[in-house]
Structure formats: C-alpha cells, structure tokens
Amino acid sequence: MEADFVIVGAGSAGCAMAYRLAEAGVSVLVIEHGGTDAGPFIQMPAALSYPMNMRRYDWGYQSEPEPHLNNRRLAVPRGKVIGGSSSINGMVYVRGHARDFDHWRDQGADGWAYADVLPYFRRMEHSHGGQAGWRGTDGPLHVTRGPRKNPLFHAFVEAGRQAGYGVTDDYNGERQEGFGPMEQTVFRGRRWSAANAYLKPALKRPNCSLIRAFARRIVIDQGRAVGVEVTRGGRTDVIRARREVVLAASSINSPKLLMLSGIGPAAHLREHGIDVVADRRGVGANLQDHLELYIQMAASQPVSLFKYWNLWGKALVGAQWLFTGTGLGASNQFESAGFIRSRAGIDYPDIQFHFLPIAVRYDGKVAAEGHGFQAHVGPMRSLSRGAVMLRSADPAADPLIRFNYMSDPQDWWEFRQCIRLTREIFAQEAFKPFVKHEIQPGAAMQTDADLDDFIREHAESAYHPCGTCKMGRADDPEAVVDPQARVIGVQGLRVADSSIFPRITNGNLNAPSIMVGEKVSDHLLGRDPLPADNHRPWIHPDWQTVQR
C-alpha cells in the first residue's frame, strides 16, 4: 500500500509512466477502477464499436444538453479498464501536427515544442512502414497499416489527388497534409493498447503493482500530496506515495479528482463544502473536443463491408480472427486518411478525414441503404470551450460535463466547409464506378441553413476530450500544471494525460497522450529530457494564398 510513485489511472499515459518508472528501478503502484481487457470485444480490432458501448469497460458519461446541438446529450466514453481509452478507442494513430506542439510552447508550455516531443514519439514507437528518420523502430508501441485490399481505400486517396490535394505516405512523418494510408495501434491482428504495449511488461517487474480500487481524492498534508484515498472491497484505504502522486485519470476524471481534493476554482469548491487547498480557476476549464459528421454515400456495386453486416458474416469474420488472427477482424477498417486546410491563409491542416468502406455509425447502426461508404470529417481546432465541474462532493457522482460545442460562429463556417469539400472529393472521377447517390446529408441539403440543421442534428463527438488541467507557466492564472506537469500550488502532485494539453492537437489523441506519459516519466525521475531534434516539417509553400 506504499510506493515511491502512485499513479491514478492505467490509461494511455499511466501505462507508459508505469513502464518507464519500473524500468528505472523505482517502485510504482497503479490504481485502476476498471478490470481486465481479456476477451475478443477489446482485443479484436474490427469489434471496436462494442467496448465503447459496454458499461463494463466504459465510465458511461454523458454531456449536459448541448444548446447549439438541439439540446442533445452526447456520449462521452472513457475507458474503465486496463489500458484506459486505448482499450476502447478506434485505434487510429495520429501524433498531431508539428505546429500543434510549437503552439503549446508559445502558450507557455516551455520544453514541449515539436523539436522537444519528436524524440519521445520516436522512443515510444515501433513503426511498421513509417518514414525513416522521423519514426521510431524499437519502442513498445507497435504502429501498423491496414492491408487496404478494398478498392474504396485507393479510390479515396486518388479522389483527393484528383481534387488537387497532395498525397502523403506518412502523415506522422515529415508531411501531414494530404491523402494517404491511415495508421493503427494494431499488432499481429490484435489491438495494441497501452496495456499490451506498456502495462503488462511493467507488471512483470517486481517493483510495479496494479491495485483495483476507486480513487476518491488525493490526500494532502501541509500542502504536499502524500497519497490517494481509495475504496476497494467496501472499505476505504489510503495508498501512500513516498515521492509523488501522479494523476493520469483522463481529461474528465483528473480535474474531478483535483476538485474533490480541494484544488480548483475556490467558489465552486465552497459551493460543495470542499475546503480549498489551492485556488486554481483553470481546473476543469478549457475543455475541448473534436466533433465530426459522417458523409455517407450509397454504393453502386457490392464492394463495401455491408455483406458481412449480418449474424453469419460477423461469425465468419470473428471465427477467422479467433483462429488465425487475420482477415477483416484484424483491422479497425480505418485504412485511408486525409488532412487538408479549409482555406488559404491557414498554415497547416484544420480538417481531418477518416475513410470507412461501409456506411455505419459508431454505435453499430448501419445505413438502411445497404452497400455504402463514408468519410468521417470535422474541424480540428474549434474555438469553442467547455468545462468539467463537480455535480456534488460525493466521489461516486458523475461529473458535470459541458462542451459548449458550436458556440463560436467560426465553427459553423468550418463545418459547412467540411461538408462541401467532402462532397467535392466524392464527386471526383475515382469514385465514379462506386457512387450511387448521397445518403447523408442528402443531395437536397445545399444551403447554409440546410447544412446547419444537419450539423445540429447529426454532429457527433470524435471522443477526443482534453485541456481541462492546462499546462502553462506558473504565473498563468489559467494554468493548472507547470511545464514539468507539477500541479501549481501543491507539492508532490502531477497530472499527466490529455487534460494537460493547452490546445487540442490535430487528429486522434491517443498518440500524444502516450507521449505525455513518456515525457513526464523523465521529469518524475529528474532526468534531463531527450535532446531536441530539429527535423523541419513540411508546410505548404503557398499556404498564404491557396487552399490546396
């Protein structure tokens, strides 16, 4: 019940820290409320829509009614299982753009520019097929590409090229902008989560242990974090940290735990009868996410995955995967991607595409039209900001989550642009053999008002919440942690997960979350950071005057 370092949360960053700390010879205890990741629903990549809809693996949070999205409550899945959200996500691997991290540095996260984080991305990766010099080849995290056997994957990239965009063979290498293969955290046909990559190897060491318990609050004694109060098996215990406590509980649960421990906006804490330890108004604020739409097309020939979307087809795919680890079950089916700029004057992509060779929703509901395909599309850097707050002082109560989606007028222009640019790609010659008609939004939806109605009713979260414990300089009143991830105003306490992102990165958040765990582990150990690497990323030479 005592260790040098106590980590709350066996998610993407928590697993990486456990691995690096254990490797360095210090003792580590990881607290995780969720259970095992054994079983086909998590380990089979193509079954990705199941675990994020299962209460066994998911905290089951929902947003408050979103006023700009017809007061809909949106699902906020967060992994409640070893591996955290890396065990229930879509397994898409995107580092983020170089400019994202330079922006972090410019916002006060000194030491987190692209040159600083690139060595950590390389340290964590075992890239299969990535660009030499830019990618790691001997890290714990295997990153692969799908086989791209379906002709629709190639049609999507070719259509992007025909529309005038560039092609990139590795959006995680020198050049993100353009169309090309998508990368996935899949290895030998299995989901390669942070649990498989980092936690399970770490637990083989005698100095690393996992405790299944529910964290209630951080125990703070005279301004220093000394442990974590947990419940397990119906009793309350304190797990003590000799050196430091590290919160890696997600961008939803990390701010909740800080507030339950007296760290947060003083007035809000007093409302709930919580004694104020450190008045930090940034705790829970600055909440960001990616929203996306599915632009769905009906197919004119039976080329999509729809033929497997029945009990017999799923059984066949499942059996092949179970016995051989191969076939359609061995990929998340996101095998082609695109990153583009919405207009001239933006220096790096602000729109992302995931292409999928079936018309289906994340909850597994397939389009009534039968054979089809879709592009998930959405803006990358919305100006809207929300917050995570306490519903009550009871640790068992779900937090209050308000994203405030689409609250900035710029978001509406960007989303309409996303729809129109996607339609233009599907209208290219490469898709002529495959397109029957548009299912959603539908060809009749053309005016700004039509598209706005569609966005209000159909925009979905891409499940990339972040930013609620913002990293910045110690004198920034909005910052929660300093550039070494130390909570400002409390000793012996750090936060290391996607909540410390000053601003959301391009694409999916699993890769930068793991990178945070990798980098913060060096800070915890008092090591010098890895030497900066000044590889220059590709930026469109005429970005100021052209959109593509």
Residues catalogued as catalytic: 464
Nearest to 374 by CA among 358, 388, 396: 358
Burial class (CB in 10 A: 0-12, 13-18, 19+), 239: buried
Per-residue DSSP letter, 196:
I
Whole-number Å distance between alpha carbons of 445 and 436: 17
Burial class (CB in 10 A: 0-12, 13-18, 19+), 235: exposed
Whole-number Å distance between alpha carbons of 502 and 289: 12
Whole-number Å distance between alpha carbons of 323 and 135: 32
- C-alpha neighbours within 13 Å on the C-beta side of residue 378: 24
Nearest to 480 by CA among 309, 259, 293: 259
Residue 216 tokens, joined: 């209630």
- On whether the CB atoms of residues 94 and 506 are closer than 8 A, the answer is yes
- On whether the CB atoms of residues 30 and 7 are closer than 8 A, the answer is yes
3-class DSSP assignment, residue 446: coil
Whole-number Å distance between alpha carbons of 481 and 487: 4
Which residues face 187 on adjacent strands?
190
Please measure the distance between the N-terminal and C-terminal CA atoms of the chain and give it in whole angstroms: 57
β pairing state of 61-62 and 125-127? unpaired
Whole-number Å distance between alpha carbons of 265 and 279: 5
Torsion of CA 406, 407, 412, 414, to 10 degrees: -80
Nearest to 156 by CA among 333, 301, 370, 373: 373
Edge-to-edge strand order for the sheet containing 125-127?
Answer: 125-127, 141-145, 183-184
Which residues face 487 on adjacent strands?
481
Whole-number Å distance between alpha carbons of 336 and 330: 16
C-beta neighbour count of 361 within 10 angstroms: 14
- On whether the CB atoms of residues 374 and 365 are closer than 8 A, the answer is no
φ, ψ of residue 384 in degrees (nearest 5): -70, 145
Nearest to 261 by CA among 250, 252, 272: 272
Residue 430 tokens, joined: 């490469």
Nearest to 268 by CA among 257, 252, 280: 280
What is the amino acid identity at position 539?
Answer: I
Per-residue DSSP letter, 63:
P
Per-residue DSSP letter, 238:
E
